[in-house]
Structure formats: C-alpha cells, structure tokens
Amino acid sequence: MSTSPTLLDTLKSRGLRVTPQRAIILNTIEHIPGHMTVEQIYEQVQRVNCYINLATVYRTLDLLRELDLVTEADMGTGATHYALHTHATHHHAVCRACGHSLEFPHDLLSPLLDILRTDYRFFADADHTVLFGWCATCVQEEVKSTSGS
C-alpha cells in the first residue's frame, strides 16, 4: 500500500532545507482537517514548541503557497484560510450575515469556467473559489423583519 508523500518529504525532494521548526509546522498543517488560519496553526505549533514564533509560521505558509502545496482563501472572517492542495478542488458559499459556510463541488463551476475559456479566452484560476451571499435562514429572517415593520 503506497501513501502520499508528506509535506516534509515533498520539501526534501525539492532540495529545500527542513529545520526542526519547519518540520513541526508542516506536521501541524497536515493534521488540521480542512481549512485553517495562521492563528490556528500557530496555536497548535505552540503546544509542541513554544519557541516557534508567528513569523516562522507565516514564512512557512508563504513557501508552501509558492510551491503550490496550499491554497489560500478569504472566507469572509477577516483572516486568510489555508487548505492543503490535497484537500481536493472544491468551493465555498459563505453567508454574509451569519458566516455559515458550505462546500460545493467543482462540477458546479465547470460550465462557467468552460464558457470563460472558450468565449472570452480567459483562463480562471478557480481551484478554490469563495462565493458570498445569504443563506436561506438569514433571508427568511430578513423577510420577517421587513414585513413585520
């Protein structure tokens, strides 16, 4: 049974130096499921080694982004969220009122991306897209509040 390479293996195979601090950060990133903020990563890293500073976490994430190993997204919370590229291509719909987020498959965006490419000669970078709007609950609450006034 073959397992996929870890971030540490990937960096080593690309000839990059892996310090003990970087190894702790890489291991932490691989064990946080789904999307994570720098602060969430830093909090977990501090539990392992309190001498690793926030700047080191940022530099490591910048490197992983440059190497196309993580993607970043604005989930509407004011903090950038990161996900491993192995987290599969998917997208999010985020409610502007309550912040509820739902994932939806890439298949829903594929027709739009095809049209952009063929009709507009535009090649969208849409591996991880976030759409903002309003969830049904918040829309219903808004309707109730405006009809009751």
Is 29 found in the same domain as 64? yes
Per-residue pLDDT in tens (0 to 9) along the chain, 149 residues: 445 678 888 889 999 888 899 999 988 988 887 788 899 999 999 999 999 999 999 999 999 889 888 888 777 777 788 877 765 667 888 888 988 888 888 888 889 999 999 999 999 877 778 888 999 999 998 888 887 65
Among candidate residues 61, 86, 111, the one where a domain is terminated = 86
The CA distance from 92 to 103, in Å, is 4
SS3 label, residue 35: coil
Is 115 found in the same domain as 53? no
Is 76 found in the same domain as 97? no
Nearest in space to 32 (alpha carbons), one of 7, 53, 10: 7
Number of domains in the chain: 2
Residue 2's pLDDT is 41
Q: Which amino acid is residue 24, in one-letter code? A: I
Is 79 found in the same domain as 118? no
131 forms beta bridges with: 93
Residue 136's pLDDT is 93
DSSP symbols for 73-86: EE-SSSSEEEEEGG
**Distances in Å between the alpha carbon of 58 and those of 20, 72, 144?**
16, 12, 44
Q: Which domain holds residue 141?
A: 88-149
Task: Write the CATH number for 72.
Answer: 1.10.10.10
Is 98 found in the same domain as 46? no
132 forms beta bridges with: 94
Residue 148's pLDDT is 65
Measured from the Cβ of residue 61, the count of other Cβ atoms closer than 10 Å reads 20
